[in-house]
Amino acid sequence: MKLSSVIGVAAMAAAGVMMAVPAAAQFAKPEDAIKYRQSAFTVMAAHFGRIGAVVKGEAPYGPSVAADAKIVETMSHLPFPAFVDGTDSGDTGARPEIWKNRAKFDAAAENMQKAVAELAKVAASGDEGALKGAFGVAGKACKDCHDDFRKRR
Amino acid sequence: MKLSSVIGVAAMAAAGVMMAVPAAAQFAKPEDAIKYRQSAFTVMAAHFGRIGAVVKGEAPYGPSVAADAKIVETMSHLPFPAFVDGTDSGDTGARPEIWKNRAKFDAAAENMQKAVAELAKVAASGDEGALKGAFGVAGKACKDCHDDFRKRR
């Protein structure tokens, strides 16, 4: 490793210490982390599903779409810091691949977060015609990550 | 009631119909509503607890406090529409008093939401000295509602 990289990593680490408690320290027990991330996904899925109902014509288009999309966007950032080491077993649908290929998992998460941010943007704009497309892209991002990293239940 | 008030209420009711699907229709099954509201509380409690750790001096004060308080504020609005009829039994800590005295429950919820909004405001302002007080008020609002409406587990 070059010296500049070492300094860079050290600086980032120092900044991290000042800015935030390490993710693992946020949870007293592994099962707390598991319950937390499952809860965040449950809330996200519920509001995503409400937008889905609108897209499918089962519920009317209205301001609730933007509110739901905003909640989905907020929730989309929460689960991932809870995939800490030691939470790959127990009552979890997480596959070991998450920890074996963290870079791919993180990229899939980021892909979803971007898609969901775009969905929230479209929903906030009130452009009903663009909703279905943005919802589809976000739904595919969810599915892609589930296919690779979530156990079949 | 004055005619203007009657018209006002009717207009709000009509707007409500257009704006949102009734809460009960948001959940396919009673257990979905129960799981959803428990999940929202779990996420809220996790982030509230992180602020608590800062208040107690177990974690450093920093920008994460404002981020956590913002999430708590967002979450504070989610659980209550999920206390729909037919969700007073099953795997729930909700006491029947919620449905017997809904006005009191709603007032307790609103009291918590106001306290949490104030906490988020204080956290966003960066006024570290005011954090403990705002956190205490919010914590009391949580406890008051739990004392009356949550089963001892």
Task: Give dist(CA A45, CA A132) in Å, integer.
Answer: 17
Give pTM, 2 decimals. Answer: 0.86
| Residue A92 bridge partners (DSSP) | none
The 10 Å Cβ neighbour count of residue B119 is 29
The answer to whether the Cβ–Cβ distance between A53 and B20 falls below 8 Å is: no
Which chain A residues are Cβ-neighbours of B71 within 8 angstroms?
A: 74, 78
Any residues with CB less than 8 A from the CB of A123 and at least 6 apart, and which?
A51, A65, A66, A68, A69, A70, A131, A134
- Residue A89: CA count within 13 A, CB half-sphere: 1
Among A38, A62, A74, the residue with its CB nearest the CB of B71 is A74
Residues of A with CB under 8 A from a CB of B: 18-21, 25-27, 32, 35-36, 38-40, 42-43, 46, 50, 53, 59-60, 62-64, 71, 74-75, 78
Q: Determine phi and psi for B82, rounding to 5 degrees.
A: -90, 0
Q: Do A38 and B36 touch (CB under 8 A)?
A: no
Å from A15 to nearest chain B CA?
11
In 10 A of CB A73, how many CB atoms? 21
pLDDT tens-digit readout, A30-86: 999 999 999 999 999 999 999 999 999 999 999 999 999 999 999 999 999 999 999
Tokens found for residue A44: 């996200």
Partners of B150 in the β-ladder? B94
Q: What is the pLDDT along chain B (153 residues), one digit of tens a residue?
A: 444 444 444 444 444 444 455 666 789 999 999 999 999 999 999 999 999 999 999 999 999 999 999 999 999 999 999 999 999 999 999 999 999 999 999 999 999 999 999 999 999 999 999 999 999 999 999 999 999 999 986
**The domain made up of B26-149 is a member of CATH 1.20.120.10:** yes
The widest CA-to-CA distance across chain A, in whole angstroms, is 59
